[in-house]
Structure 1
Amino acid sequence: MKFSKLFFIGMAMATLTACGGTEETAEVAAPVAEVAAPVAAETEEPVRDLGGLVVTIASWADIKEPEEKKSAQEEALWEYRHEMMEKHNFGFEELALSKWDGTLELMSTSVLAGDPAAEIFRFNANYNGSAKESGLAYDLASLDSIDLTDAKWSQSLIEMMSDGDKVYGLSLFDRPKRLIFFNKRLFEEAGLDPELLYDLQASGDWTWDAFMEISEKLTRDTDNDGINDTYALIMNQTTFAQAATFSNGSSYVAVDENGDYINNLVSPESMAALEWCADYWATDFDIRPEHWNGHKDLFMSGGAAMYIGEEWESTNFTQEAMPDDWGMVVFPKGPSADNYVVVYNEKAWVIPNSYTKEEAEDIAFALNLWTEPTPGYDEPDSWMTAQYPVYRDPRAVEETLVIARDPEVMMSDYALFIASKVRTSQAAEDVYWNRATPAEAVEAQVGIWQAELDKLNAK
């Protein structure tokens, strides 16, 4: 453990010892007189001194304390962090020690050389599987200094990073993917209530059928020249097909009862999703941008009423002053799903297993403190405070994000475990471009996928 790195050179750590208590008397059966009960001393739990440890997270970007805080909450957060670092005598930093796709190599080479480059390694979602299967990750479930059931941790990521009772990575809630942003002006111009999608989502009637019906109404030829002037959806076929598959209660890759990874693209639910996608693509409800990266710009300019994106993109729509008012809902649920499904591709934090139990406990203790909610803003709904300025209406926060943060609807994408070797979107691409039927497209991928899954299961 790197105890030689000191976060504050002049930091003096006061050892807190306090004893106190009050005398209590109790009536004791005695033949002569009442007898005073022994004095019970109450001792405060001693402060855990980490001995100047600086915990470094190896990442692909430096995360530093901002000189100017954006809010009272951010100010309070950093005050709390400094208080904890001083109290427990430790430092904390996140440094760009590798590229986004180089963390695994950095961890492997440094750990095997006996000198870990960091106490914690942050992995892009595409490499979570490799980190889990590397044999170099510490079992976090064996540590006492961190509670994996704490509501702040993503349970979907913990499940993904688990092998039986062992857990090799964790993450806070990340920002969800595959949400639908919608242009309220275009809804009104099509004769639809601009709050319609919120209302359908709230009632549980936001389904594939409703999506199809609304798409038809939103696709309009306003000047009767035979060419659509507005469309229902900005189309990215890869994103659309994945969202549809998950929304029908399925996935591309799943884990069976033996803990083996299996091809779930062949499941009835996945096949139904791809067939529904083919039906949607057979309509004229969607439009593609001229440039491969122009989907967001086309939505912001009013080219279509709906756009499937990631939750963080809400910041762009607000900061870039999208002229039209907009809202955000989850993807509609398919006929095989009991509830809405929201996709998460979180970035895992991994502690190398080269550290001793004592060292790993200290690292986990520091990480747990660093990720604690801001005091004064730690009520169950306090997270909403920072979200309101990012949206145009409160329903996106109080309804959509509440749904998205429900562990019951959160799902991680296990297909990322083979994404570096397999083009997992190939079946959807072949259907979209009319190169194959859904059944033919899936069948063409079975052998390719199985070869990589076999390798993964053999580790």
Structure 2
Amino acid sequence: MKQMKKMKPMLMTATAALMILSGCSGNGGNTPATEAPATDAPAATVAPTEVPEAPAPDLGGREIRISHWWDATPVGDSEADELARERIKKVEEKYNVKIKYLNTEYWSTSEKLSSSVLAGDPFAEIVRLPDGFIWGLTNGGFLTPLNDYLNNSRIAPDVIEAMKFGGEQVYGLEGWYNANDSGMYYNKRIFKEAGLQDPQQLMDADNWNWNTMLDAAKKLTVDNNGDGKVDQYGLAGAHYIFSEQLIASNGGLIYEEATKKVTFDSPAAMEALNFEYELYNTHKVVKENEGNDWEDPAKYFAEGNIAMYPGGLWEIEGRLTDKMKDEWGYVYFPKAPNATSYSDPLGQTAAYVIPKGVKDAEAIVKIWEELQDFDNWEANRKLWLENVLPDDTSIANAMNEAGKVQRVFGGRFGGLGVKEQLDSVTGKFIKGEVTPSTGVAQVIAAAQAAADKVLSGEVEEKKE
């Protein structure tokens, strides 16, 4: 089963100042001001007067409900939770409100939002939703457009741009996006024993691409114990992870938000899918999973039988921490041979939305911003990575300190039913049952129809 990330950011007035200055001129506007005596001393630099921030609106003690599909109440004793509680207290005092966190079941959140809006009583002021629900709700008119409330926002411009769903209106709030959330894990022992340059060394030499990955995978797919059966493979992974990463690394998109078109039949995407097909069927360098495409690859890698494994940083704690037998590292996913940079796709997102009909929406946006830890996000991320990654080089890669990874925006397919159609094809061609061209041709229309259905406002309910 595929796992889902929790995906866990003034008006100012000078009227009073101007009135004070005009009222305190001291001459009533009739007597000429005394001319200052001449001096050879340099003129003193006058510091600009800061205009005070307009007072926050008093919301009358109302409850500001913030919904997640988990309990986000900061009740722990960590420093992060303590700081979160301090921010909550400041917000409550500043706006005269009470912050309350709701734990709303994932699949029922969209229906609960739409039905409460229709009843004229939104169930929460701020709701976290995956993009699959957001697409449909925007088209149904259930969400508040936020463009007018993001002046002087602390949210980065590229993040605001990413929060546009199907047009120029911003419907979501998010703090930031990591430039690098997924890449390739590799087993240092296996590369060292084979006398091969490992992915980090190849990356340092600007030679980490599909071809060098394949070359290493072929040399590391071997029968170590001489029983005539391969017991070590170059690669392991889920076919649906490979397809997403390979298409992005070749400059392709699975779905194009700007045109609302399914694009996994584009030349760039098909080249990537054909390469994936060859990894499994021609070169046979990917270990076959034993029934669980999601759990098996990480298990094989942790056991020390796999040289390379593509995965997300967010899965380390549950799948690799305290389970690795050998030394390991983390690098970017290899780029296509003709690509100029590494790419990490943003195929799915989540965001905070404000339901239609929520009162004082501008103040609600400011409240959300002031609850975020903008100043320490990057530091907190690095601290977390230091706890889960094995060495400084891997941490630097994950932080994209060299700036070599480009986040691929504009291609979110989450919740549109598009990737599911593609996955049904890759699930067949890894077994050699169908070629990429034949399989894609069979499902491209169904994928487009699925996206069109969601974008028309028809949101799918719970999927098993």
* Deviations 1:344-380 (CA, angstroms, capped at 9, x unpaired): 3221211112134xx1011101100111325xx47x6
User: Map of 1:128-147 to 2, 5 A cutoff?
Assistant: 128-144=134-150, 147=153
Seen in structure 2, the aligned counterparts of structure 1 residues 451 and 34 have a Cα distance that, compared at 3 Å, is same
| Separation in structure 1 between the aligned mates of residue 229 and residue 418 of structure 2, nearest angstrom | 40
1:217 to 216, 219, 236: 219
Cα offset for 1:41? 7.9
Partner SS, residue 422 of structure 2: coil
Asked if the contact 2:250/2:336 (under 8 Å) is kept, the reply is yes
Distance 1:388 1:426 in 2: 37
2:363 aligns to what? Answer: 362
Q: Does 1:106 align with 2:109?
A: no
1:328/1:355 Cα in 2 relative to 1: closer, same or farther (>3 Å)? same
Deviation at 1:440, TM superposition (A): 0.7
Shift of 1:254: 0.9
- Looking at structure 2, the residues matched to 225 and 50 of structure 1 have their Cα atoms a distance apart, in angstroms, of 76
* Residue 188 of structure 1: aligned partner: 192
* TM-score, with structure 2 as normaliser: 0.79
**Equivalent position of 1:10 in the other structure:** none
Q: Percent identity?
A: 25
Question: Once the 2 structures are TM-superposed, how far is the Cα of residue 110 of structure 1 from its aligned partner?
Answer: 0.5
Counterpart for residue 83 of structure 1: 90
* Secondary structure class of the residue paired with 1:445: helix
- In structure 1, what is the equivalent of residue 264 of structure 2? 265
2: CA distance, partners of 1:156 / 1:214 = 39
Aligned partners of 2:401, 2:253: CA distance in 1, in Å?
19
Cα deviation digits, residues 408-446 of structure 1 (max 9, x gap): 423365332421895331222232122221111111113
SS in 1 for 2:342: coil
Among 352, 357, 363, the alignment partner of 2:355 is 352
Structure 2 counterparts to residues 265-304 of structure 1, below 5 A? 265-282=264-281, 283-292=283-292, 293-304=295-306
CA 1:49–1:454 in 2, change beyond 3 Å: closer, same or farther?
A: closer
Quick one: which of 61, 65, 68 aligns to 2:74?
A: 65
In 1, are the aligned partners of 2:143 and 2:354 still within 8 Å (CA)? yes
Contact 2:298 2:320 (8 Å CA) reproduced: no
Q: Match for 1:94: what amino acid? A: Y
Pair 1:224–1:91, CA change in 2 (3 A) = same
Letter in 1 for 2:433: R
Contact 2:131 2:349 in 1 (8 A): yes
Aligned-partner residue type, residue 181 of structure 1: Y
Q: 1:244: which partner in 2?
A: 246
Distance 1:321 1:251, change over 3 A: same
Match of 2:159 among 154, 158, 164: 154
For the structure 1 residues 92 and 183, does the alpha-carbon distance in structure 2 shift closer, same or farther, using more than 3 Å as the test? farther
Q: Distance in 1 between matches of 2:354 and 2:33?
A: 64
The offset of 1:340, in angstroms, is 1.4
Q: CA deviation at 1:207?
A: 0.9
Q: Given the alignment of the two structures, is residue 165 of structure 1 paired with residue 168 of structure 2, yes or no? A: yes
Deviation at 1:74, TM superposition (A): 5.0
Partner Cα separation in structure 1 for residue 256 and residue 371 of structure 2: 33
Residue 56 of structure 2, aligned match among 37, 48, 51: 48
| Aligned 1:317-332 pairs, distance under 5 A | 319-332=321-334
Q: TM-score, normalised by structure 1?
A: 0.80
The alpha-carbon deviation at position 318 of structure 1 amounts to 5.9
Go from structure 1 to structure 2 and tell me whether the alpha carbon gap of 1:254 and 1:302 turns closer, same or farther (over 3 Å shift): same
Deviation at 1:321, TM superposition (A): 4.4
State the partner residue of 1:390. 388
Provide the rounded CA distance (Å) in 1 between the counterparts of 2:195 and 2:223: 14
Kept in 2: contact 1:403–1:409 (CA 8 A)? no
Structure 1 unaligned residues grouped into runs of 5+: 1-17
Q: Which residue of 1 aligns with 2:432?
A: 434
Alpha-carbon deviation of 1:384? Answer: 1.9
Q: CA deviation at 1:191?
A: 1.8
Q: Which has the larger displacement, 445-454 or 294-303?
A: 445-454
Equivalent position of 1:418 in the other structure = 416
Cα distance change on mapping 1:338 and 1:91 into 2, 3 Å: farther
SS at match of 2:99: strand
- Work out whether 1:448 is the aligned partner of 2:446: yes
Give the unaligned 5+ runs of structure 2: 1-15, 38-47, 458-464
Once the two structures are superposed, residues 315-345 of structure 1 have per-residue CA deviations (whole angstroms, 9 ceiling, x without a partner) of: 2356434232221122111245332111232
Q: What is the letter of the counterpart of residue 173 of structure 2?
A: L
Q: Quote how far apart the aligned CAs of 1:108 are.
A: 0.4
- AA in 2 matched with 1:448: A
8 Å Cα contact 1:261/1:456 also seen in 2: no
Q: Partners in 1 of 2:120 and 2:247 — Cα distance?
A: 43
Q: 1:156 to 1:275 in 2, by over 3 A?
A: farther
Which residue of 296, 311, 314 maps to 2:313? 311
* 1:60 partner amino acid: W
* Paired residue total: 419
Q: Which residue of 1 aligns with 2:461?
A: none
* Separation in 2, partners of 1:404, 1:317: 27
CA contact (8 A) 1:246 1:343 kept: yes
Matched residue, 1:4: none
